[in-house]
């Protein structure tokens, strides 16, 4: 059973891109070189919580290209979808971008072009307004129209 902090107001798809060599936030959690134990929740645990919130049943793992795997959770009872890209050798940097401080952030990689992947994801998952936003917009419009006529 999910607690109140682990509920979504409406289904929201999630795209996650992670490097296998991320020294800042390792996907499984790990000892960090300068702070010791990873104090944040490991990314994989967060993804599993998101999967639980969307009630996703199906899991698909496929190789997208050499060094890039895609893990997809779909068939979600509450809607939405989770797509995770794991880039081999990538540190805590923008995939496909430049990295001038690899000493601290790890290595860059062009195995995946994050800008293109993110754009395609947003095009495939347009944001639907939650009911609360729609009601608020109507109330605001009505209040504005009323104040103009007084």
Q: What pLDDT is attached to residue 62?
A: 94
Q: Is 137 helix (H, G, I), strand (E, B) or coil?
A: helix
- The pLDDT of residue 71: 93
pTM over 0.85: no
Q: Is the pLDDT of residue 75 over 80?
A: yes
The tally of domains found in the chain comes to 1
Domain containing residue 78: 4-148
Name the pLDDT band for 149 (thresholds 50, 70, 90): very low
User: For residues 50 and 8, what is the distance between their CA atoms, to the nearest angstrom?
Assistant: 9
According to the model, what pLDDT value does residue 1 have?
42
> Per-residue pLDDT for 103 more than 60?
yes
- Give residue 69's region: left, alpha or beta (phi > 0; psi -120 to 50): beta
Residue 108 Rama label (left phi>0; alpha psi -120 to 50; beta): beta
* More confident position, 63 or 24: 63
């Amino acid at each position: 059973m999910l607690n109140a902090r682990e509920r979504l107001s409406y289904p929201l798809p999630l795209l996650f891109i992670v490097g296998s060599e991320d020294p800042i936030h390792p996907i499984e959690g790990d000892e960090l070189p300068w702070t010791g134990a990873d104090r944040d929740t490991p990314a994989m645990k967060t993804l599993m919580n998101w999967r639980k919130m969307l009630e996703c049943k199906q899991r698909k793992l496929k190789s997208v290209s050499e060094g890039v795997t895609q893990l997809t959770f779909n068939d979600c009872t509450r809607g939405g979808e989770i797509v995770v890209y794991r880039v081999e050798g990538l540190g805590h940097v923008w995939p496909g971008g430049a990295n001038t401080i690899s000493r601290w952030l790890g290595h860059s990689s062009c195995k995946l072009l994050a800008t293109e992947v993110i754009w395609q994801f947003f095009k495939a998952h347009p944001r639907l307004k939650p009911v609360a936003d729609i009601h608020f917009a109507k109330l605001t419009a009505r209040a504005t129209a009323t104040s103009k006529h007084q």
